[in-house]
Amino acid sequence: MFGKIARSTAAVLLLAALAGCGGGSDSDAGPPGGADGTITMGFSQVGAESGWRTANTKSIREAAEAAGVDLRFSDAQQKQENQIKAIRSFIQQRVDVIAFSPVVETGWDAVLLEARRAGIPVILTDRAIDSDDTSLYETFLGSDFVEEGRKAGRWLVDNTEGPVRVVELQGTTGAAPAIDRKEGFEEVIAERPDIEIVATQSGDFTRAGGKEVMEAFLKSTPGIDVVYAHNDDMGLGAIEAIKAAGREPGTDITIITVDAVRDGMQALADGEINFIVECNPLLGEQLMDLARKVVNGEEVPARVVTEETTFTPEEARAVLSEREY
Ligand code: GZL
């Protein structure tokens, strides 16, 4: 909001378009975008922790290429301080727009205020932030993680009877998908007092993390019926641990995950996972379209929710060959 007013004013006041990045509210900045209209985007990515992230990065890079966007890409290796450093660097470079997937929900107000003061609009993609000041960003593009958790809980409520002991592999501590997928799942299973989460711990959205936590659960927690993993990668790590313990994943222990990336869908098709809630990583095209509108001072929705579904083993077998990721 503030960024758009500053940019429009700068654009109206300044007739001569100088070469170089647009952005910035000082008086010598040309209209948004470079002299030839090229948009420069600074993008701070969470990291490369999962199959989902890899697919998301590929989608963003390919969409930037197709849209002629000059993409300045930074991988934060799942560290918030690296994302804050990258955003400050993008401000120094006076990019036209900043987009990022916040690794955790909190701690962003200061650096986003710096971007706003520099007149550079910010787009949140994939994960949201928990801030009272919604003017710090123009829009949020990504999934409804609470609904994803509800879908996982709904499948469990509808497909089990009697006492069910669940162990939960949470995503990165403080991350929106981890907080919200837990919230949605618990909201729905509350309908069944005989479904109980008997252990819960973060596996940090990685395969290694899921395996390590599941190994500990198998040693410390008797009578596990179900694993609810906040992403496929932790579910695949749990499968390794379950097999190493001489048990049958998908048969002895039911497994529910979120994402629907290729390796997860293959395990689902093979019957080692029982149900997957899709989380669509292909956000690149929508992001570039939103960026163009924001840079040009056009109105954009405060929230753009992505379309996604769920899969059973039979449904996975039917679509596996045509999946993009
Ligand atoms: C969800 C995304 C999550 C995925 C994980 O939009 O932020 O992060 O579910 C990824 O696989 O690590």
- Looking at the predicted structure, is the pLDDT value of residue 73 above 80? yes
Q: Among the listed ranges 18-32, 127-141, 206-220, which one has the minimum average pLDDT value?
A: 18-32
Mark residue 31 as left, alpha or beta (left: phi above 0; alpha: psi -120 to 50; beta: remaining): beta
Q: Which residue has the tokens 């992230």?
A: 53
* Other Cβ atoms closer than 10 A to 73: 14
pLDDT value for 27: 39
Domains and CATH numbers, the chain: 10-143+281-307 (3.40.50.2300), 145-279 (3.40.50.2300)
Q: From ligand 1's centre to the CA of 90, what distance in Å?
A: 24
- Looking at the predicted structure, is the pLDDT value of residue 308 above 50? yes
Q: From ligand 1's centre to the CA of 232, what distance in Å?
A: 9
pLDDT value for 24: 42
Mark residue 119 as left, alpha or beta (left: phi above 0; alpha: psi -120 to 50; beta: remaining): left
Closest CA to 147 of 102, 202, 188: 188
Q: From ligand 1's centre to the CA of 56, what distance in Å?
A: 9
pTM of the model: 0.89
> Is the minimum distance from the CB of 279 to ligand 1 under 6 angstroms?
yes
pLDDT value for 17: 43
**Helical residues (DSSP H) of the chain, grouped into ranges:** 2-13, 51-67, 80-92, 109-117, 145-159, 176-189, 207-220, 232-244, 262-269, 284-295, 313-319
Distance spanning both ends of the chain, measured CA to CA: 35
Q: How far is CA 242 from CA 171, 213, 256, 275, in A?
A: 19, 11, 14, 17
- Looking at the predicted structure, is the pLDDT value of residue 19 above 60? no
